[in-house]
Amino acid sequence: MQPEWSPRITWCDLPANVRTGIEQILGGPVTEAIGQPGGFSPGTADRVRTSTGRAAFVKAVSPALNGHAPGIHRKEAAISASLPLTVPAPSLLGVFDDGAWVALVLSDVEGRHPHIPWRLEEITLVLDALLNLSQTPIPPGLRHLPRLEDELVDAFQGWTRIRGHLPPECDPWVLRNLGVLEQLADSGLKELSGESLVHTDVRADNILITRDNGAVLVDWPWASIGSGWIDGLTVLINVRVFDPHFDVDSILQSHDVFASATAPGVDAVLAGLAAYFIDAARQPPPPGLPTLREFQQRQGEAVIHWLRRRPSFPTSAGGSPL
């Protein structure tokens, strides 16, 4: 089942000066704009074409829609401008920023989102792309990116907050294993450490499958430096969100992107991500993002459903191979 995405404004809803600024970047007036589904931003997500036939992808937002969104767009612009050409990502063509409205103009990618439920061949395409990403040297312009283990310290402490204020309908399995989950999540932070460029938000709506069977990753504001297999794990979580019975463990054991992962390490990161999703889902929805919390709950439930069926759970710290 597809999630209910947040409602977006369209190209026609942008103020005239914003549209003019974008058209100056593109070198001509926009004559066609097609809104794209997916994601949780309330801003635009339009594939546009100018009078000269030039195609691009435009995303624009203002603080009136969500107070944090313009800053997120600015982060993405800075990261996109420094991504190596070998990274499967759209190119940044330009940025419009008047202090309130921020618009990113990106190269148009001829592609589609993966099929939902996921198909094995498309999972493999995406994991192949992530393996290449994990092996790409981080350019000097991105060496300032945060370390993933630092970014997720608070998120991985979600079980402690849940213990202090239990949800009214908490999963009985979670209650029985809360202590183990807390310990695993705490140990999971060290599993996030690494020297790879990490997207950190890889899910079906942030992936485009191209005509030549490539996988392009979009939406880069949360890029970090960390373990090269973490993005692959989040893809498998997304697979489980839409198909709880998909045998993702066989992929963990066979794809090279997970070569450095261990079973205890995977359990620990899954416990930390479940803490984040389930704790976050209890919070009020952010302005302009009314469906985000529901999707976070679905993600948390998918991780718990997977974790409780892994033969390595519960486990003590160790390094046994997958």
- The candidate with the shortest Cα–Cα distance to 130, out of 243, 299, 255, 262, is 255
CATH 3.80.10.10 fits 11-108, yes or no: no
* pLDDT tens string 17-49: 999 999 999 999 999 999 987 777 889 999 999
pLDDT at residue 5 in the model? 64
pLDDT at residue 1 in the model? 55
The CATH fold of domain 112-307: Aminoglycoside 3'-phosphotransferase; Chain: A, domain 2 (3.90.1200)
* Residue at 167: amino acid letter: P
pLDDT at residue 183 in the model? 96
pLDDT tens track of the chain, all 322 residues?
556 566 789 999 999 999 999 999 999 999 999 998 777 788 999 999 999 999 999 999 999 999 999 999 999 999 999 999 999 999 999 999 999 999 999 999 999 999 999 999 999 999 999 999 999 999 999 999 999 999 999 999 999 999 998 877 888 999 999 999 999 999 999 999 999 999 999 999 999 999 999 999 999 999 999 999 999 999 999 999 999 999 999 999 999 999 999 999 999 999 999 999 999 999 999 988 888 999 999 999 999 999 999 999 974 334 344 5
Ranges of each domain in the chain: 11-108, 112-307
